[in-house]
Amino acid sequence: MALKTFVKISEVNNLSDARYCAGMTVNLMGFDLQKDNPSYVSPENFMELTGWVSGLEFVGEYGDASEDEIKDSIKDYDLHYLQTDNPAIIPLFKDYKRILRFDMDKVTDAEAVKNTMQEVENKVEFFLFESGNGNHYKENVVQQVLDLAKDYPVILGFNIDDKNVMDLVEKTSIKGISLKGGEEIRPGYKDFDELADILETLEIDDTVE
């Protein structure tokens, strides 16, 4: 089994979601490691969840956490990637692959976003654009992100469903997509069934006749 594009699952915090997504051969599995957040995954829970899956890489999602908060936490997790919303954090953790996240609910200046991307492009693997609140944005906003994907390694994490995902994958320059897990796994803001529909749409039929 394989998928037609690179897929990251964010905010995974339960075993059923972890095993399902691993079985669908997603590439990255992200865990919220900010202690005050509802989706926070403790070191013990992280070990339990990751012990049941293989074949993918793990992302520590740190949002706007400070350097000291990350240093205090990250030593307790076996991670491949560090994800942050703060570009100042990016140069400080060279031992990890890094993802810079832009929360579309907080972005107000497209030019500032582009300037930030230019400043750190050689220090990150991907730029992730998603809606923290699961908001759906107008197509002109999506197009601005897709235009950035022509020059930068962008993962799209909003305005995705099983009807448009193939067009996004085949007709744009995005490097992949991001879907959200959580208490009830969902693509950014909806339910497990819709996430399953998206992944099944992306699934490559490699059955040998």
Return the CATH number at 195: 3.20.20.70
Q: Could you count the other beta carbons within 10 Å of the beta carbon of residue 111?
A: 7
Q: Phi and psi (nearest 5°) for 154?
A: -100, 135
Query: Can you give the pLDDT at residue 183?
Result: 58
What's the average model confidence in pLDDT over 44-50? 96
Find the domain containing 64 and state its range. 2-204
Beta strand spans in the chain (E): 2-3, 6-10, 28-32, 57-61, 81-84, 97-103, 126-130, 154-157, 176-180, 203-204
Q: Which residue has the tokens 């796994």?
A: 185
Instruction: State the amino acid at position 157 in one-letter form.
Output: G
What pLDDT does residue 102 have? 97
Within a domain: 209: no
Q: Is 55 left (phi over 0), alpha (psi -120 to 50) or beta?
A: left
Looking at residue 135, its pLDDT comes to 86
Asked whether residue 196 is assigned to any structural domain, the reply reads: yes
Q: Which residues contact 197 (CB under 8 A, 6 or more apart)?
A: 161, 162
pLDDT at 98: 98
Pairing relation of β-strands 154-157 and 203-204? unpaired
Measured between alpha carbons, how far is 158 from 21 in angstroms, rounded to an integer?
18
Within-domain flag for 25: yes
- Residue 59 forms part of a structural domain: yes
Q: List pLDDT tens digits, range 85-139.
A: 999 999 999 999 999 999 999 999 999 999 999 999 999 999 999 998 888 899 9
In a domain, 137, yes or no: yes
What pLDDT, on a 0 to 100 scale, did the predictor assign at position 192? 64
Predicted confidence at residue 205, as pLDDT, reads 73
Q: Which amino acid is at 111?
A: E
**For the segment 159-209, what is each residue's pLDDT rounded down to a tens digit?**
999 999 999 999 999 999 999 875 544 444 445 677 888 999 999 876 544
157 part of a folded domain: yes
Neighbour-count burial of 8, counting CB atoms closer than 10 A to its CB (0-12 exposed, 13-18 middle, 19+ buried): buried
Q: Are 123 and 116 in contact (CB under 8 A)?
A: no
Residue 61 identity: E
Structurally, the chain folds into a number of domains equal to: 1
Kindly report which listed range (41-55, 75-89, 144-158, 180-194) carries the lowest average pLDDT score: 180-194
Instruction: Name the strand (E) or helix (H) holding 125.
Output: none
Asked if residue 111 is part of any domain, the answer here is yes
Residue 197's Cβ-count burial label (10 Å; 0-12, 13-18, 19+) is middle
Q: Which helix (H) or strand (E) holds 62?
A: none
Considering only CA atoms, which of 154, 149, 88, 96 is closest in space to residue 126? 154
| 64 is a domain residue | yes
